[in-house]
Structure 1
Amino acid sequence: MLARQKFYRNHFFSVIGLSLGLFCSQVSATTLDQQRQLYQDAKQSIKASEFGKLDSIKAKLADYPLLPYVEAAQLSKQLASVTQKQISEFGKQYPDVPVTTQLQQRWLNQLIRQKRWKAYLPALAKSGINGSEKYECYRRHALMETGHKAKAIAGIDAFWNVGHSRPDACDSSFEYWQKTKGGPSSALATSRFWKSVAAKQMSLAKYLRRFITAKQDKAVIDRFYKIQANPELLTKKNALKDDTLANRETYLYGLTRLSLSKPAAAAKTWLTVRDTLKFNTKRKESLNRRLASRLQSKAPKGALKLIEQLGDNQDETIQNRLFRTALIKEDWQEVFRLISNLPEETQKNERWVYWRTLAASHTQGLTPAASQAFVTLSKERSYYGLLAADILNRPFSLNPTATKPAGKALNTLAETPAFKRMFELYKQNEHYLARREWNRITQDADSDTFYAAATLAHQWGWHDQAIRGAAKARVWDAIDIRFPAPYTKIFDKMAAELEIDTNWARAVARQESAYQTTVRSSAGARGLMQLMPKTAKQTAKKFDVKYKGVTDLNRPVININLGSAYLAQMQKRFKGNQILATAAYNAGPHRVDQWLKARGHLPMDIWVETIPFRETNKYVRNVIAYHAIYATIAGESKHSLEQPAFELALQDAVGAKQSKTLRKQIKQQLSAY
């Protein structure tokens, strides 16, 4: 194990403030475990500004992989008195350590705060930080402040001409440019105006009008604002004739606005102009999809026909909208036709293979067993493979890989300075910094390197990163890496107490966080099972769980306890139906109630397929598949679709045209889930 390997010095380390002689006299045979504790002591010394104590600690960390992080932390603490020479020397000594970039940014920010513009210019040049809008604006400002005004506005025309607002630091150079050079020209301002419209930066576009003086440009922009106020003007025949940038942007913007109230009118107008004007392909597809979405939402007369015209049989996103509508109606002829209209390569996707086969089973008398594509699908380790296997009464397949990275390759990678630092950061529970190391070393890595990196992370127990690495390597059959089983005792204990399936709870945790204990979502959900603090508090009270606050959600035992309890609560609410309970865990029980009220008569495979929320749709399918995988790994004789706890509460649609025999078989198979 890497944790037991001895770390040898392969770099010449010099410590700021200490001479090499002092280093050599103080370095002793410090063990790795001692160095890990000394690293924590060093951080505390820096926090307390005890730099004399820090020097003696650093001497014992001479060959410790995280010494650069200690030195960077010290420099950051003493930033007010640090010199450019020290920052530059640190950068030369540790050019490949991610913390170097962060230190250089802190140094630049310090110079900005102190308004040390003369020092800022060479500091930025030496930092190697390129492409930063913020620092480029301050570079121009620094040139203004140091009397190099001509240099400050060099190339400023192109720099100014973007579809968003530049940082305030650019104002001084922009103002000087306008005052001395008369910039921007009316043509340049017009160009930026349309870029702003394309980026939907309407406040910026309004500001730019003051610079537009050309009579023709002003007239075109005045017309744009009339259409903004009344987008229905675009529905008039030949409202905008010529194929110009202004006309294209006006159509794209105006029809988007019109679709909010009159999607059919917007779609009809769009269909008359989209192929006559030279619209950007991506933006054309984007408006196609937006209009299709509005048509489906508003459902005006003739909406389906318009949606199909927008998709032109090639846009899978739009075809998917039509497909979902046909599936909810159980119009199998239409389902088959829509899938058959997709490009041949797209039809090979397992989702379309599954539904095309079922549609063909009653429109053309084709049984799933007679479809080679369906038989092949039944051997896949996926949600649709699981459903197909069950219909064909085949065992669920794990298909684990038999190959692993060579031991020599693993050892070589483990001995690189970056992976040594990464491992120590992981051991120090500084996962955020460890991920920075990972991102730096794998930036241009090939598949084999990613696989080896994922294998190392898995050996360390860093499961979320190992899972991501395996995905990057596209080693989908590396089951041991992609589906680890940490915290087994906790999951089993909670599942037994709450009378839920332990593999179900584990599948939810795998989907929610990939076993990252401290992850926090943008919405505020935390920990392994991604609980919202409010939900955690309510669940803790209901199930009498000791819970002190949100920080407890970073503790696996508390998080798994509360997450499992909430799953049990949802399972009870939805009468044992774990599919509905899974959907409720992700989207909330009230939304599931709404979906059931709107289309609760559907068979469960169709119900899952037509969940309105894209995230929840994918979430439920993944949890079902992960449940089957964990159950199979556990050696259970019955896979997830045969678990009694997965009984359906829904009934088949009345009047369904599907073959009674096949639907009965599918219902029997799925209703056990």
Structure 2
Amino acid sequence: MRVTANFLIASTISLISFTFSSKAQSTYSTEQLAFLAAEKAYAHGDLVNYRKLKRSLKDYPLYPYLEYKELLKKLDVKNRPDIDAFITTYANSPLASSLKQQFINQLAVDKNYKLLQEYYSYGRDAKLDCKILINKLTQGSTIKELHDDVEDLWSVPKSQPKECDTVFQKWIDSGAVNHNIAYHRFYRTAHEGSIGLLKYLERFLDHDKRYIVDLWVKAKKDPGVVNRRNFFPARDANLEAPILVFAMQRLSWDDRNKAYKVWQRTKNRIPLSQNHVDDIERTLFLALATENNPKALDWLDKNHLNKFITDELVNHWKLAVLLRNERWETIKELYSLLPINQQKSHQWQYWTAIAQQKTGEQEESALTLKLLAEERDYYGYLAATRLKQPLKLNHVALKLPPDVLKRVEESDNVKRAKELFELERYINATREWRTQISRMNSDEEIQAASQFAHSWGWYNQGIVTIAKSKFWDETDIRFPTAFKESYIKMAKKVNLPPQWLMGVSRQESAYGPLAVSPAGAYGLMQVMPATARSYSRKFNIPYSTRRDLLKPHVNIEVGSHYLGLRYKQLGQNPIYASAAYNAGKHRIDEWKPFGRHPTEVWIESIPYTETRDYIKKVMTYRAIYALKLGVDDDIFEYILSTETGGDI
């Protein structure tokens, strides 16, 4: 009997596998093919073969995925025992929460709110929350008893679903909405919501406070309106001050010089708390500093060096302003004021060492640079290059106990993640993986998981996972060299160093050939489909659909040509080209007028935090990959010996 069953299963697999690619047939295991065949049989209603295949897969890690699909078609109260059993049995799989949510949705459709509340956690879905509240009202609850829940739903800076209209109206009719409740929602809406909702909320404010609605509407439409001498009636500073703060913060990023002048004229027109003044001055300083406006240095010179001294972003821009103006003594003074955690950062240690060097404190500077040169990071590599020392890779291999490796490898989530990854079910694989990582009790287990992910070729997951354990020196996992031949081949084709292309990939996708960003960028070098279409025609690259970008060699070819083109367009400046890869060429054109400075200073002065960090990481990764490839790289010499910016 067993022989017959296996023969039938094998026959079914062979028939159905004709629909799979030749690659799949050659690389998928017998169990994987049986699983795919079972899915196909079930989808086509071939229940006889489905049941045979399912029985053969009882011990296969993805067996619950077959049960899950069956239960999705049986979301009826009479099948509740089976649903509950699945949720309990596979509680550690994301399938359990997914099935639970599907059952909740069905209960809502069936209007079985009593049972729904046994499964549903209030506050996750406004539509369901309101349906439950309405049901409670029909079952005898009073609007007073439901007040707190209704208020939470109502007090958001956006319109709620129409399912909430009935309960909201009953709540309003009960007289529950007073000025304080209404103003709480109004204030949030003024900052985050629409003008239409602001006007709607006017009716709930006290009559003598409703004048602020018109002020807010005008300020949201044109923040410069606060500059009018009679704009603020000075009737209630607590209501009017937030409008000035909002308008000044908006204006600061729109027009720095205008914002500076408006602030000088308006700051004494209405009483402002120190917090309001600080909110405005912080934003105005950051806006001025990012564009290298001279008024940023003026602000620092007016005894503001210790202002916002715990704020890391403000301190960064103080440093950038001082570097642009070569104020080395002031940099040392600022460093002495910083909190200890900021003083310990490699960024501040490096620049303080340079300031010491510039002001004659050579021994102190050399000692700090020598210590930094031992580090494998951006500032460590700058320090090593200044000292003409080799860059350090500092690799330390993982050494994990066999019992830890075995425990991780045999965990159900890891088994399912591995099968799903091999079947190219990447979303489900990632869900299983994250569930497992969240449940791990030790760094050793997390490190073991990262090692397995890397060994499967799931490089980005290996990188992300090992980072959770803060084991930074396992450079084989953290900096994979897969697809090396494709990078070297394309590097020759576009005349760029292969380590640069690999460094971009490491930062863009964490070396994930199957990565897809929320913005729709694909693959290793995070290429947009529109870019691929354009470049495929321009450079004769074989490309037809966006899934082609998940093929490493195609993605590398498109991404390399894109980087190479930016490099040529931007004067063969690798910093410009890398920044353009991240933020777009138009941003480089915007930033050039902010002045010409030593390249390492220009990098510190990139207006976008994301792009600034991106450049530092890509340059560091480029140097790391040069070490791993055994080739020379001069990017840090370039950073230290050139100037960037301006019109030259």
Unaligned runs of 5+ in 2: 11-27
* Of 137, 162, 165, the match for 1:168: 162
The CA distance in 2 between the partners of 1:398 and 1:273, in whole Å, is 59
* Of 543, 547, 556, the match for 1:547: 543
Matches within 5 A, 1:236-251: 239=234, 244=238, 246=239, 249-251=242-244
TM-score normalised to the size of structure 1? 0.80
What's the CA shift string for 1:455-484, capped at 9, x where partnerless?
222222211111111111111112121111
SS of 1:443's equivalent in the other structure is helix
Is residue 307–residue 318 contact of structure 1 (8 Å, CA) maintained in 2? no
Is residue 529–residue 560 contact of structure 1 (8 Å, CA) maintained in 2? yes
Question: Aligned residue for 1:182?
Answer: 175
Question: Aligned residue for 2:116?
Answer: 123
What is the CA-CA distance between 1:159 and the residue it aligns to?
2.2
What's the CA shift string for 1:376-433, capped at 9, x where partnerless?
1111101111111011111111122255332211211221222221222222211211
What is the CA-CA distance between 1:435 and the residue it aligns to?
1.6
What is the CA-CA distance between 1:503 and the residue it aligns to?
1.4
Question: Aligned residue for 2:129?
Answer: 136
Question: Aligned residue for 1:424?
Answer: 419
Matches within 5 A, 1:473-552: 473-552=469-548
Question: Aligned residue for 2:259?
Answer: 263
Asked if 1:621 corresponds to 2:616, the answer is yes
Asked if 1:631 corresponds to 2:615, the answer is no
Give, as a single letter, the amino acid of the residue that structure 2 aligns with 1:326: L
What is the CA-CA distance between 1:163 and the residue it aligns to?
3.2
Is residue 233–residue 239 contact of structure 1 (8 Å, CA) maintained in 2? no
Question: Aligned residue for 1:365?
Answer: 360
The CA distance in 2 between the partners of 1:152 and 1:425, in whole Å, is 48
What is the CA-CA distance between 1:559 and the residue it aligns to?
0.5
Question: Aligned residue for 1:196?
Answer: 189
Question: Aligned residue for 1:65?
Answer: 61
Matches within 5 A, 1:169-318: 169-179=163-173, 181-200=174-193, 202-212=195-205, 214-218=206-210, 230-232=225-227, 239=234, 244=238, 246=239, 249-257=242-250, 259=252, 262-265=258-261, 267-268=263-264, 277=273, 279=275, 287-296=280-289, 302-306=295-299, 309=304, 312=307, 314=309, 315-318=311-314
What is the CA-CA distance between 1:499 and the residue it aligns to?
3.2
* Of 76, 93, 96, the match for 2:92: 96
The CA distance in 1 between the partners of 2:270 and 2:389, in whole Å, is 49
Give, as a single letter, the amino acid of the residue that structure 1 aligns with 2:529: P
SS of 1:459's equivalent in the other structure is helix
Asked if 1:387 corresponds to 2:382, the answer is yes
Give, as a single letter, the amino acid of the residue that structure 2 aligns with 1:184: V
* Of 305, 314, 320, the match for 2:316: 320
The CA distance in 1 between the partners of 2:305 and 2:125, in whole Å, is 39
The CA distance in 1 between the partners of 2:233 and 2:330, in whole Å, is 35
What's the CA shift string for 1:263-298, capped at 9, x where partnerless?
22565589879997385xxx9876544222344468
Is residue 157–residue 186 contact of structure 2 (8 Å, CA) maintained in 1? no
The change in CA–CA distance for 1:584 and 1:264 in structure 2 (over 3 A counts) is: closer
The CA distance in 2 between the partners of 1:473 and 1:427, in whole Å, is 25
SS of 2:438's equivalent in the other structure is coil
The change in CA–CA distance for 1:339 and 1:486 in structure 2 (over 3 A counts) is: same
The change in CA–CA distance for 1:128 and 1:63 in structure 2 (over 3 A counts) is: farther
SS of 2:597's equivalent in the other structure is coil
Asked if 1:578 corresponds to 2:571, the answer is no
The CA distance in 1 between the partners of 2:629 and 2:382, in whole Å, is 20
What is the CA-CA distance between 1:501 and the residue it aligns to?
1.6
Is residue 381–residue 399 contact of structure 1 (8 Å, CA) maintained in 2? yes
The CA distance in 1 between the partners of 2:503 and 2:251, in whole Å, is 44
The change in CA–CA distance for 1:58 and 1:621 in structure 2 (over 3 A counts) is: same
What is the CA-CA distance between 1:335 and the residue it aligns to?
4.3
- Which deviates more from structure 2 when the two are superposed, residues 479-488 or residues 228-237? 228-237
* Of 400, 405, 413, the match for 1:405: 400
The CA distance in 2 between the partners of 1:532 and 1:227, in whole Å, is 37
SS of 1:371's equivalent in the other structure is helix
- Which deviates more from structure 2 when the two are superposed, residues 137-146 or residues 553-562? 137-146
Is residue 292–residue 321 contact of structure 2 (8 Å, CA) maintained in 1? no
Matches within 5 A, 1:437-448: 437-443=432-438, 445=440, 446-448=442-444
- Which deviates more from structure 2 when the two are superposed, residues 364-373 or residues 297-306? 297-306
The change in CA–CA distance for 1:82 and 1:563 in structure 2 (over 3 A counts) is: farther
What's the CA shift string for 1:535-575, capped at 9, x where partnerless?
22232223222221322111111111222233333344445
The CA distance in 1 between the partners of 2:79 and 2:139, in whole Å, is 20
Unaligned runs of 5+ in 1: 1-21, 655-673
The CA distance in 1 between the partners of 2:644 and 2:329, in whole Å, is 18
The CA distance in 1 between the partners of 2:335 and 2:110, in whole Å, is 64
Is residue 518–residue 527 contact of structure 1 (8 Å, CA) maintained in 2? yes
- Which deviates more from structure 2 when the two are superposed, residues 159-168 or residues 539-548? 159-168
Give, as a single letter, the amino acid of the residue that structure 2 aligns with 1:521: S
- Which deviates more from structure 2 when the two are superposed, residues 142-151 or residues 407-416? 142-151
Give, as a single letter, the amino acid of the residue that structure 2 aligns with 1:352: W
What is the CA-CA distance between 1:81 and the residue it aligns to?
9.8
Give, as a single letter, the amino acid of the residue that structure 1 aligns with 2:616: R
Give, as a single letter, the amino acid of the residue that structure 2 aligns with 1:306: W
What's the CA shift string for 1:35-87, capped at 9, x where partnerless?
21122122223433434432222111111111112221233355589844443
SS of 1:456's equivalent in the other structure is helix
Is residue 141–residue 172 contact of structure 1 (8 Å, CA) maintained in 2? yes
What is the CA-CA distance between 1:453 and the residue it aligns to?
2.1
The change in CA–CA distance for 1:479 and 1:626 in structure 2 (over 3 A counts) is: same
Give, as a single letter, the amino acid of the residue that structure 2 aligns with 1:349: S
Percent identity for Structure 1 against Structure 2:
29
SS of 2:167's equivalent in the other structure is helix
Give, as a single letter, the amino acid of the residue that structure 2 aligns with 1:467: I
The CA distance in 2 between the partners of 1:519 and 1:593, in whole Å, is 30
Matches within 5 A, 1:585-604: 585-596=581-592, 598-599=594-595, 601-604=596-599
The CA distance in 2 between the partners of 1:155 and 1:185, in whole Å, is 14
Question: Aligned residue for 1:8?
Answer: none
Q: How many residues align?
A: 617
What is the CA-CA distance between 1:509 and the residue it aligns to?
0.8
Give, as a single letter, the amino acid of the residue that structure 2 aligns with 1:99: L
The CA distance in 1 between the partners of 2:421 and 2:122, in whole Å, is 27
Question: Aligned residue for 1:668?
Answer: none
The change in CA–CA distance for 1:81 and 1:55 in structure 2 (over 3 A counts) is: farther
What is the CA-CA distance between 1:200 and the residue it aligns to?
4.8
The CA distance in 2 between the partners of 1:29 and 1:91, in whole Å, is 32
Question: Aligned residue for 2:17?
Answer: none
Asked if 1:612 corresponds to 2:607, the answer is yes
Is residue 90–residue 100 contact of structure 1 (8 Å, CA) maintained in 2? yes
SS of 1:442's equivalent in the other structure is helix
Matches within 5 A, 1:627-666: 627-636=622-631, 638-641=632-635, 650-651=642-643
